[in-house]
Amino acid sequence: METTKLSSKGQVILPRAVRDAHNWPRDRVRGGGGRDGVLLRPLKPFKPTTLQDVIGSTGYTGKAKSIADMEKAIARGVKERNARGRY
- Burial of residue 66 (number of CB atoms within 10 Å: 0-12, 13-18, 19+): exposed
pLDDT in tens, 34-46: 788 888 877 776 7
Please tell me which residue, 11 or 75, carries the higher pLDDT value: 75
> Is 66 a residue whose pLDDT tops 90?
yes
CA distances from 62 to 16, 45, 52 (A): 48, 31, 18
